[in-house]
Chain A
């Protein structure tokens, strides 16, 4: 079971790039790394998923080093609306994609 560790909270200002790093030291060969975002009073929302190197979509980039023991979610030029909790997850591939949520990283973007 790949346990993930990420900072409890981060502060940023509008227009800055935010990088949230997650460690998953015992990630298995078949495991993917997935990030979800949760706004207050809403359910979590899938942001991005990757296996190795770099993945980019319209919302974020995900950087995964060769050893895959950590990953970094990068949010370019954040705005106030990016204030949310961000969860780093490793779905349990052999248990139907079961998601074990930690406490997540609470990102606060200030004007």
Chain B
């Protein structure tokens, strides 16, 4: 079974530039999550999708971050404009069912460095 795919794996940009990350979840997984992981900390949930609808985006900085999941499969996370404090690893995860007991499967992440 193929895992969660993410691209790019690394990205370096200057502050105030924009950047986009792509995620392809495991086939058939209805729920998709985007996390931000700052060095030395645990992942923090940014947004959760159920199919193509948003379930939770309470911790998404909506003035600069946006995410979409068209057709309920792939998803993109965008930052515009980027700030220095956005330097982090952005992890995508998916799960089969959002009831609370299903395992979340994580991708390898995209490491972002904002200069």
A and B: interacting chains: yes
User: Which residues in A have some Cβ–Cβ distance to B below 8 Å?
Assistant: 32, 41-46, 49, 87, 91-104
A94 cross-chain contacts in B, Cβ below 8 A: 100
User: Which residues in B have some Cβ–Cβ distance to A below 8 Å?
Assistant: 4, 31, 35, 40-45, 48, 50, 55-56, 91, 93, 95, 98-109, 111
A-B pair number, CB within 8 angstroms: 68
Is the Cβ of B42 less than 8 Å from the Cβ of A42?
no
Is the Cβ of B108 less than 8 Å from the Cβ of A43?
yes
Is the Cβ of B100 less than 8 Å from the Cβ of A101?
no
The residue that B101 contacts in the complex, of A44, A91, A98, A100, with Cβ under 8 A, is A91
Q: Residue of A at shortest CB range from B3?
A: A43
Q: Residue of B at shortest CB range from A96?
A: B98
Provide 16 A-B residue pairs closer than 8 Å at the C-beta atoms, listed in order of the A residue.
A32-B100, A42-B106, A43-B4, A43-B106, A43-B109, A49-B101, A96-B56, A97-B99, A97-B101, A97-B102, A98-B45, A98-B48, A99-B104, A101-B44, A102-B42, A103-B41
* Minimum C-beta distance from A4 to chain B (A): 10
A92 cross-chain contacts in B, Cβ below 8 A: 100
Q: How far is the CA of A43 from the CA of B102 in the complex (A)?
A: 17
Q: How far is the CA of A101 from the CA of B36 in the complex (A)?
A: 11
Is the Cβ of B100 less than 8 Å from the Cβ of A96?
yes
Is the Cβ of A96 less than 8 Å from the Cβ of B42?
no
Best-surrounded residue of A43, A93, A101, A104 (most CB of chain B within 10 A): A43
10 smallest CB-CB distances across A and B, nearest first, come from A43-B106, A101-B42, A97-B100, A93-B100, A96-B98, A46-B103, A101-B43, A43-B91, A44-B106, A91-B100
B42 cross-chain contacts in A, Cβ below 8 A: 87, 101-104
Best-surrounded residue of B50, B101, B104, B111 (most CB of chain A within 10 A): B104
Q: How far is the CA of A41 from the CA of B111 in the complex (A)?
A: 9
B48 cross-chain contacts in A, Cβ below 8 A: 96, 98
Q: How far is the CA of A98 from the CA of B56 in the complex (A)?
A: 9
